[in-house]
Amino acid sequence: MAIFTQQKNPLPATPVPAVVSGSQSSVVGKTLLIKGEIFSDDEILIEGKIQGTISVKNRVVIGSEGIVEADIEAREVIIKGKVTGNIRGSQRVEIVPSGALHGNIQSPRVVVADSGLFEGNIEMRQRDNKGSPHVEKPSDNQNPPAASEHANLHKNPRK
């Protein structure tokens, strides 16, 4: 009886990790070409070619052999290969030294390595909203003294 109990415990344990989908990842191999829309809750590693759109709730990693011509929306995007398209990262977008992006980025955190290639615009909404009030307040406090000092300098040379 104890032997059957021990065997039954490992068998149900095997499907449990398969049910936990957040920890799994899908791989697009080097020889694979996908044209169309990709949707996933899991992490995706792209080493092949994709043309279309990518929408992932987790992380998208474009491997060093990956070539993507698509708009990407994910929690986190890491670019090691080549991407042409706009990227929206809800938490973070990173371009490593071997990575190249031709497109716009919208994310609260953006990292571009020294030799990473980036051509486009970056919009960091969450950081801009926090920084705007702080930038306006010091400039408002600095303008009146600067204006009065500037006016005094003009008066002194004329005397």
Give 43-61 pLDDT, tens digit per residue.
Answer: 999 999 999 999 999 999 9
In a domain, 7, yes or no: no
Q: Is the pLDDT of residue 34 over 50?
A: yes
Same domain, yes or no, for 63 and 108? yes
d(CA 95, CA 118) in angstroms, rounded, equals 8
Same domain, yes or no, for 25 and 91? yes
Same domain, yes or no, for 69 and 133? no
SS3 percent helix, strand, coil of the chain, rounded to 5, is: 35, 40, 25
Q: Are 104 and 88 in contact (CB under 8 A)?
A: no
Percent of the chain with pLDDT over 90: 62
pLDDT value of position 48: 95
Same domain, yes or no, for 102 and 66? yes
How many structural domains does the chain have?
Answer: 2
Split at pLDDT 50, 70, 90, the class of 125 is confident
Percent of the chain with pLDDT over 70: 64
Q: Which domain holds residue 50?
A: 21-123
Long-range Cβ contacts of 47-55 (<8 Å, 24+ apart): 47/81
Least confident of 19-23, 32-36, 121-125: 19-23
- For 72-120, write each residue's pLDDT tens digit: 999 999 999 999 999 999 999 999 999 999 999 999 999 999 999 999 9
Same domain, yes or no, for 46 and 73? yes
Q: Is the pLDDT of residue 42 over 60?
A: yes
Same domain, yes or no, for 102 and 74? yes
Same domain, yes or no, for 79 and 156? no
Residue 69 is encoded by which pair of tokens?
């011509």
d(CA 52, CA 75) in angstroms, rounded, equals 18
In a domain, 5, yes or no: no
Same domain, yes or no, for 115 and 132? no
Same domain, yes or no, for 79 and 113? yes
pLDDT value of position 4: 47
Split at pLDDT 50, 70, 90, the class of 126 is low
Q: Is the pLDDT of residue 13 over 90?
A: no
- For 141-154, write each residue's pLDDT tens digit: 444 444 444 444 44
The rounded mean pLDDT for the chain is: 77
Same domain, yes or no, for 70 and 134? no
d(CA 114, CA 95) in angstroms, rounded, equals 9
